[in-house]
């Protein structure tokens, strides 16, 4: 074959026969179709809303809400706007999800390890916990905890109390509210400095150990820095905090800090339910580390505790993290069931009351969906980062 014929064939071969071009074209067409679909859905929705005389747009967010909310992390009153209602609901959702994730992780790890215990009773207790709790619908568990909590607590006038400053009744848990006085900022600053210093010492100690093999008591030093230093400063400055005690006034208590029963019930239900799944994940993770690893560690003379800490756990964590992320996402999304027991989270105050008062279903549901999507993506991103950090680095 001569050079000339090759050139001819190249000229003749159509651009349609080039696989790279075809794959590029099909992708461009697909993207165009997706964009067109999206545009069609939006414009069609808008047109239909207009035709049916249904109000649309996001102007309602500046309108006065006018209704009350019984738990808010930021200042909120009836004069606040719907936009503020959105933030209040969002923060309440984040609060219960965040604390729920921490609590569920702790319970889940404990139960997961218990299930592997050689002690028959402990292992069976953990097994029953897992099998019972993960097989009952969450909504029922929420109702159970809520009405169990309510029923077991006395009325405000018959509150249970400790030292006349902590009160428990069916309106919630009341504790004294600390009010800071000038000088308290020093304590806060020292606390933050303590944390930073501990992190720095840990990094330094790890490097030194890698280099020389010498260990450094990071834990004790850290405790001294984070707890000891602020406490010392607090005492030196003459306790710059006063307490606002809750008092029974009329029907209910006023003053102090209050935790509403709806929050307690929601937190308990979410964390105890999710912990059952986490326990199984932890158990699977630990069992995934082959027995040979433990035996090898023993052969090297490592005692059981360091074996667990240095050999088994680091390998188990790699197996645990990806499914654990799923459970965290589930817990966050399940927090929307709180509307059933009057915990004022996003779905209750925004997708419920606000939606009913403004009637702007499309906008409000879109915003609510966007919130859960964002929360989930953020959790996911964090866990992926942590996973990458813990992943096996092959050399």
Partner 1 sequence: MKRKLLSFVFGAAFGVAAVSAASAATLDDVKSKGHVQCGVSQGLPGFSNPDDKGNWTGIDVDLCRAIAAAIFGDPDKVNYTPLSAKERFTALQSGEIDVLSRNTTWTMQRDTALGLNFAGVNYYDGQGFMVRKSLGVTSALELAGAAVCTNTGTTTELNLADYFRANNMTYEVVAFEKADEVVRAYDEGRCDVYTTDQSGLYAQRLKLTNPEDHMVLPEVISKEPLGPVVRQGDDQWFNIVKWVLFAAVNAEELGVSSENAEESMKSTNPSIRRLLGVEGDFGPAVGLDKNWAYNVIKMVGNYGEMFDRNVGPDTPLGIARGLNALWTKGGIQYAPRSANGGCGHDDEPGCTCRGQAP
Please report whether residue 84 would count as binding partner 1 according to CB under 8 A.
Answer: no
Supply the minimum distance, in Å, between the C-beta of residue 172 and partner 1.
10
Contacts with partner 1 by CB under 8 A: the residue count is 50
**Residues facing residue 243 across a β-bridge:** 178
Shortest Cβ 51–partner 1 spacing (Å): 5
For residues 52 and 158, what is the distance between their CA atoms, to the nearest angstrom?
55
Residues 38-57 vs partner 1: string with x where CB under 8 A?
--xx--xx--xx-xxxxx--
Report if residue 344 touches partner 1, rule: CB under 8 A. yes
Supply the minimum distance, in Å, between the C-beta of residue 77 and partner 1. 9
Rule CB under 8 A: choose which of 15, 19, 238, 251 binds partner 1: 251
Q: What is the DSSP letter of 64?
A: B
Nearer to partner 1, 102 or 254 (CB): 254
Q: Looking at 171, 277, 286, 375, which residue binds partner 1 (CB under 8 A)?
A: 171
User: Which residue in 161, 221, 357, 387 binds partner 1 (CB under 8 A)?
Assistant: 357
Question: SS3 for 154?
Answer: coil
| CA 332 distance to own-chain centroid | 6
| CA distances to 82, 136, 338 from 346, in Å | 12, 25, 9
By CB under 8 A, which span of 120-128, 234-242, 247-255, 311-319 interacts with partner 1? 247-255
Among the candidate windows 14-22, 142-150, 298-306, 368-376, which touches partner 1 by CB under 8 A? Answer: 142-150
155 binds partner 1 (CB under 8 A): yes
Q: Does 150 bind partner 1 (CB under 8 A)?
A: yes
How deeply is 283 buried, as exposed, middle or buried, from its count of CB atoms within 10 A (0-12, 13-18, 19+)? buried
Tokens of 37: 């679909």
Q: Are 302 and 310 in contact (CB under 8 A)?
A: yes
Give min distance, CB of 62 to partner 1, in A. Answer: 16
Using the minimum distance from each CB to partner 1, give the nearer residue, 306 or 359: 359
- In the complex with partner 1, which residue's Cβ is closer, 262 or 280? 262
Planar angle of CA 37, 40, 45, nearest 5 degrees? 130
DSSP string, 295-332: HHHHHTT--HHHIIIIIIHHHHHHHHHHHHHHHHHHHH
- Burial (CB count <10 Å: 0-12, 13-18, 19+), residue 99: middle
Taking the C-alpha atoms of residue 115 and residue 127, their distance in angstroms, rounded to an integer, is 6
Rounded least distance, CB 38 to partner 1, Å? 10
Q: How far apart are CA 172 and CA 149, in angstroms?
A: 10
* Minimum distance of partner 1 from residue 46's CB (angstroms): 10
Q: Rule CB under 8 A: which of 254-283 touch partner 1? A: 254, 261-262
C-alpha distances (whole Å) from 62 to each of 82, 304, 306 are 6, 62, 59
Closest-CA residue to 198 (of 222, 215, 216):
222
Stretch that binds partner 1, among 65-73, 199-207, 216-224, 271-279 (CB under 8 A): 65-73
**Spatial contact of 131 and 295, defined as CB atoms under 8 Å apart:** no
Interface with partner 1 includes 244 (CB under 8 A)? no
**Interface mask (CB under 8 A) for partner 1, residues 85-124, using x and -?**
----------------------------------------
- Residues engaged in binding partner 1 (CB under 8 A): 37, 40-41, 44-45, 48-49, 51-55, 66-70, 78, 143, 146-147, 150-151, 155, 170-171, 249-252, 254, 261-262, 339-342, 344, 348-349, 351-353, 355-359, 361-362
């Amino acid at each position: 074959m001569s050079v000339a014929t090759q050139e001819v064939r190249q000229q003749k071969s159509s651009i349609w026969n080039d696989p790279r071009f075809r794959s590029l074209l099909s992708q461009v067409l697909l993207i165009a179709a997706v964009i067109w679909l999206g545009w069609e859905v939006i414009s069609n929705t808008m047109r239909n809303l207009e035709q049916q005389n249904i109000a649309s747009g996001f102007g309602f967010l500046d309108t006065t809400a006018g209704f009350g909310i019984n738990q808010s992390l930021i200042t909120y009153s009836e004069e606040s706007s719907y936009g503020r209602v959105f933030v209040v609901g969002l923060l309440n959702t984040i609060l219960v999800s965040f604390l729920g994730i921490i609590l569920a992780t702790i319970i889940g790890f404990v139960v997961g390890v218990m299930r592997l215990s050689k002690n028959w009773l402990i292992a069976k207790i953990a097994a029953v916990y897992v099998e019972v709790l993960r097989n009952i619908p969450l909504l029922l568990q929420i109702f159970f905890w809520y009405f169990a909590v309510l029923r077991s607590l006395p009325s405000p006038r018959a509150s249970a109390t400790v030292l006349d400053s902590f009160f428990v009744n069916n309106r919630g848990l009341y504790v004294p509210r600390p009010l800071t006085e000038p000088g308290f900022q020093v304590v806060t600053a020292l606390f933050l400095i303590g944390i930073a210093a501990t992190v720095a010492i840990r990094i330094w100690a790890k490097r030194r150990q890698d280099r020389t093999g010498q260990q450094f008591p990071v834990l004790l030093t850290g405790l001294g820095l984070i707890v000891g230093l602020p406490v010392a400063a607090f005492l030196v400055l003459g306790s710059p905090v006063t307490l606002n005690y809750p008092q029974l006034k009329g029907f209910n208590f006023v003053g102090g800090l209050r935790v509403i029963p709806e929050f307690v019930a929601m937190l308990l239900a979410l964390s105890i339910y999710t912990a059952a799944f986490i326990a199984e994940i932890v158990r699977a993770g630990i069992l995934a580390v082959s027995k040979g690893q433990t035996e090898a560690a023993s052969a090297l003379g490592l005692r059981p505790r360091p074996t667990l800490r240095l050999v088994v756990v680091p390998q188990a964590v790699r197996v645990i993290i990806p499914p654990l992320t799923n459970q965290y996402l589930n817990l966050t999304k399940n927090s929307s069931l709180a509307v059933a027991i009057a915990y004022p989270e996003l779905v209750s105050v925004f997708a419920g009351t606000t939606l009913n008062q403004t009637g702007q279903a499309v906008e409000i549901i879109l915003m609510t969906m966007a919130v859960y999507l964002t929360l989930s993506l953020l959790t996911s991103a964090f866990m992926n980062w942590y996973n990458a950090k813990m992943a096996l680095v092959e050399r």
